[in-house]
Structure 1
Amino acid sequence: MYQARFRVDNEVAVVTGGGRGIGLACAEALGESGARVVIIEPDEQIGSAGRDALTAKGYAAELMLGDVTSSAQMTEIADTLAARGMPASILVNNAGVGSSGISSEDVDDELWLWMMNVNVNGVFWCSRAFGRHMIAARRGSIVNLGSMSGTICNRPQPQTPYNVSKAAVHHMTRSIAAEWAPHGVRVNAVAPTYIETPMVLAIPENGPRIEAWLRDTPMGRMGQAHEVASAVLFLASDAASLMTGAVVPVDGGFTCW
């Protein structure tokens, strides 16, 4: 009984930014658990590489090109899938951008608007587009990628725009969850710590920062993409059937202190 509740067999799972990193790990977790995965990426090369990695492992996966900052594109993709008889029943709002190291007084309009457009608007456009079909079907699960930065202020690097964008994702999660629960649609979020990816490790400024991050983490290490994906799979599945509006920390204890 219990193992079966973690399965998502024959569900259509859309993962934004699913071509690499945490998004690809989420797509793999869902595919391994039986879902038919649809990756949304604006970059065909990245998206194709992710799709091919999934299909090489025997998972049902396809790529649809689109930019989450375009509400029209997200609506078109959601409607196209529904017209094909495969409306999404799982949505992972993973696509996001990050930037740090700039003090608030030096943040320009372009950086602020870019961060909000991708991290906040993008999550809402996708939730609205795919959520309409979930409401019509009276079933569905949305999992948003928040961050522990939506709860705490990171140190030693300043990053107000990112922190604010993720705090917005957390409250958007709770707000939509409360609205859509009567329609059978659950909305939750995960709030990861620093995740050890090639991109993070390649940034020279992160060398001394990582030492500080680990001192602030009770578990004393960074996270791995698969650890975030495992939490996403749980929230997407019927194993979390009584959970909505939750923001689940996946942070090695960082927010305990």
Structure 2
Amino acid sequence: MEKPVALVTGANRGIGFEVVKQLAEKGYYVFLCGRDPRAAEEAAVKLRAGGLAVEPLELDVTKPESIRRALERVEELGRLDALVNNAGVLLDEGVPGLRVPVETVHATFEVNVYGALRVSQTFAPLMIRGESGNIVNVSSIMGQLAYAGPGYLAYRSSKAALNMITRVLAAELKPHGIRVNSAHPGWVRTRMGGPAAPGTPEEGAKPIVWLATLGPGGPTGGLFGPGLKPLDW
């Protein structure tokens, strides 16, 4: 495969879909991943109709076997240049931290934290073999410790944990030429963000795509937002 290759989880709609589109427009061959293979196929068809190199791929970040099957397909191309951990859930909106069920916290971490870690651990060896690449964890300023407030305990905690994964993997993968960063897309009009959000999916995708396409010497171990400037942890 001569084209650079990217993989985006949770990509059949919203910000993930737009990230796939923008990466493909930059010349990447992009795996559009979703836990529902039919939804992933329908999304990929829309982009392929525009001449973009997009392939649907079933990938459920909560199931190790699903991740391994996805790896087998990507390995057939012999490379992976960008991995975007976009799959995420928000399950405790409007629920005070003192009343949020622990089961809800666990379900949130299963996707937002363990899922991203599973995918990164599975695909990193392929990137290490290429001695280059970018891993982008789609995070949020809701995970900032310095500015945390009431509510969203499960979601906030999961994004704070995801940011620590970013920091640790950035340090471990830097010697292999791989950059690992967190991206804050902003408050965006998606199913999760709701209709009142001021940003568009196109705008939310920009910092993610920027981090996914960094070259040697680019930043690693940081949190970046819509202005492409580093944010406080």
Contact 1:78 1:87 in 2 (8 A): no
Partner SS, residue 189 of structure 2: coil
1:190–1:248 Cα contact (<8 Å) kept:
yes
Q: State the TM-score, normalizing by the size of structure 1.
A: 0.81
Q: 2:222 aligns with which of 227, 242, 246?
A: 246
Shift of 1:199: 5.2
TM-score (norm 2): 0.89
- Partners of 2:96 and 2:192 lie apart in 1 by 22
Find the aligned partners of 1:14 and 1:239 in 2 and give their Cα distance. Answer: 17
**1:64 alignment partner, one of 37, 57, 64:** 57
For 1:154 and 1:145, the matched residues in 2 are separated by 20
**Is the counterpart of residue 162 in structure 1 residue 155 in structure 2?**
yes
8 Å CA contact 2:186, 2:204 repeated in 1: no
Counterpart of 1:229 in structure 2: which amino acid? A
Report how many residues are paired: 227
What is the Cα deviation at residue 95 of structure 1?
0.4
1:47 aligns to what? 40
* Residue number in structure 1 paired with 2:96: 103
Report if the CA contact (8 A) 2:131-2:177 is conserved. Answer: yes
For 1:232 and 1:75, locate their aligned partners in 2 and report how far apart those are by CA, in whole Å: 24
Q: Where do residues 113-192 of structure 1 align in structure 2 (5 Å cutoff)?
A: 113-151=106-144, 152-153=147-148, 158-192=151-185
Q: Deviations over 1:86-117 (max 9, x none)?
A: 43221010000012111122211321111000
1:91 is matched by which residue type in structure 2? L
Identity of aligned residues (%): 32
1:81 equivalent to 2:74? Answer yes
For residues 160 and 240 of structure 1, the distance between their equivalents in structure 2, rounded to whole angstroms, comes to 36
Whether 2:220 is the aligned partner of 1:228: answer no
Stretches of 4+ aligned residues off by more than 3 angstroms: 198-202, 238-241
What is the rounded CA distance, in whole Å, between the counterparts of 2:224 and 2:33 in structure 1? 24
Distance 2:162 2:52 in 1: 30
Structure 2 residues without counterparts, runs of 5 or longer: none
Unaligned ranges ≥5, structure 1? 1-8, 203-209, 211-220
**What code does the residue aligned with 1:35 have?**
Y
